[in-house]
C-alpha cells in the first residue's frame, strides 16, 4: 500500500516539505489530499480545533489547561483581584493573533474568551507523532527583542533544541493529548513555572510548522510505525 498525507491544509509549506521528504525516502510520490482512499495508508497532518474548544476539552478531563471564562464580568472579577488577563478576540488564530494582554490596571475589552495568565518561567513545545514524543523544544527570545508574556514568532521567540532543561513529567503530560484531535502530528505548547514546579498546557497545534530535520524524523517514524503496510 502507498502512503498519502491526509490534510485539509495541503498548501502549507510544512505539508509540502513532509510529502517531499516522504517521497524521497519511499521512492514514489506521496500525495497530499483531503480525501481518504481505501487503497492507501494515511497519515493525517492538521485537524484544527478552536482555542475555547481545547479549553473545554481539558477542563472536562481535569487536565492542567488555562482557567477560562466567557463572561466579561467574571474576567473583571479576576482582574480586580490582581490577575493579568489574556483576552482572545479570535479563537482560531495563529501566533497570538487576536490576543490582548490586560494588566490589572487596564480596561478589559470585549472578547470571545478570557483566560488567567499563568506566570511561567519557561515555555516548551512537545512534538508528538501519535503517542510518541519526538522532541522537546524551548521557546527562547532572539537577541534584540524585549521580554514578552506572549512567546510568539512575531514577538521574537524561536524554538530551540539545544541545552533544554526538560521539566519532569512533561512528556507524560503531552502524551495525554494524543487523542484531542485526528492529526497524527501535534505540537503541544506547555508553560512551566520553576518556582512552583507546575505546568499548564496552553494549546495544541494540530499542524505545527516543521523544518527539514523534524520532517525527516517524522518521516522515519512513519516508516517505523507502518513497516509492513508500506511495502509495495
Can you spell out the DSSP letters for 128-144?
EETTEEEEEEEEEEPTT
Read off the pTM: 0.94
- The pLDDT tens digits for 89-121 are 999 988 888 999 999 999 999 999 999 999 999
> What confidence score (pLDDT) does residue 142 get?
96
Q: For residues 217 and 88, what is the distance between their CA atoms, to the nearest angstrom?
A: 34
Q: How far is CA 127 from CA 86, 100, 165, 168, 184, in A?
A: 25, 27, 16, 16, 11
Q: For residues 207 and 192, what is the distance between their CA atoms, to the nearest angstrom?
A: 23
Q: Which three cell numbers stand for residue 68?
A: 477560562
**141 — pLDDT class (breaks 50, 70, 90):** very high
**135 — pLDDT class (breaks 50, 70, 90):** very high
> What confidence score (pLDDT) does residue 8 get?
82
Residue 41: HSE in the Cβ half-sphere, 13 Å Cα cutoff: 17
> What confidence score (pLDDT) does residue 62 get?
98
Percent of all residues in the chain with a pLDDT value above 70, rounded to a whole number: 98
- The pLDDT tens digits for 148-193 are 999 999 999 999 999 999 999 999 999 999 999 999 999 999 999 9
**232 — pLDDT class (breaks 50, 70, 90):** low
Q: Is the pLDDT of residue 125 over 60?
A: yes
Mean pLDDT over residues 78-93, rounded?
95
Q: Is the pLDDT of residue 231 over 70?
A: no
**9 — pLDDT class (breaks 50, 70, 90):** confident
Contact 232, 35 (CB under 8 A): no
Q: For residues 190 and 177, what is the distance between their CA atoms, to the nearest angstrom?
A: 12
Contact 203, 54 (CB under 8 A): yes
Q: Which three cell numbers stand for residue 20?
A: 517531499
- The pLDDT tens digits for 29-39 are 999 999 999 88
- Measured at the CA of 128, the angle between CA 117 and CA 217, to 5 degrees, comes to 130
Amino acid at each position: 500500500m502507498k502512503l498519502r498525507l491526509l490534510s485539509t491544509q495541503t498548501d502549507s509549506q510544512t505539508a509540502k516539505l513532509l510529502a517531499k521528504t516522504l517521497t524521497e525516502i519511499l521512492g514514489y510520490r506521496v500525495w497530499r489530499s483531503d480525501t481518504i482512499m481505501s487503497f492507501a495508508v494515511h497519515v493525517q497532518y492538521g485537524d484544527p480545533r478552536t482555542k475555547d474548544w481545547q479549553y473545554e476539552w481539558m477542563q472536562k478531563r481535569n487536565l492542567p489547561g488555562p482557567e477560562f471564562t466567557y463572561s466579561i464580568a467574571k474576567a473583571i472579577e479576576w482582574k480586580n483581584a490582581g490577575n493579568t488577563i489574556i483576552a482572545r478576540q479570535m479563537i482560531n488564530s495563529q501566533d497570538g493573533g487576536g490576543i490582548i494582554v490586560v494588566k490589572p490596571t487596564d480596561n478589559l475589552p470585549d472578547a470571545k474568551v478570557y483566560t488567567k495568565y499563568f506566570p511561567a518561567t519557561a515555555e516548551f513545545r512537545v512534538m508528538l507523532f501519535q503517542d510518541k514524543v519526538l522532541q522537546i523544544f524551548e521557546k527562547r527570545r532572539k537577541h534584540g527583542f524585549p521580554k514578552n508574556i506572549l512567546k510568539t514568532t512575531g514577538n521574537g521567540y524561536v524554538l530551540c533544541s539545544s541545552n533544554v532543561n526538560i521539566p519532569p513529567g512533561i512528556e507524560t503530560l503531552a502524551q495525554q493529548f494524543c487523542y484531542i484531535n485526528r492529526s497524527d502530528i501535534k505540537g503541544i505548547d506547555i508553560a512551566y513555572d520553576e518556582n512552583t514546579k507546575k505546568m499548564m498546557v496552553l494549546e495544541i497545534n494540530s499542524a505545527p510548522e516543521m523544518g527539514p530535520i523534524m520532517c525527516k524524523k517524522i518521516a522515519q517514524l512513519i516508516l517505523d510505525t507502518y513497516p509492513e503496510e508500506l511495502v509495495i
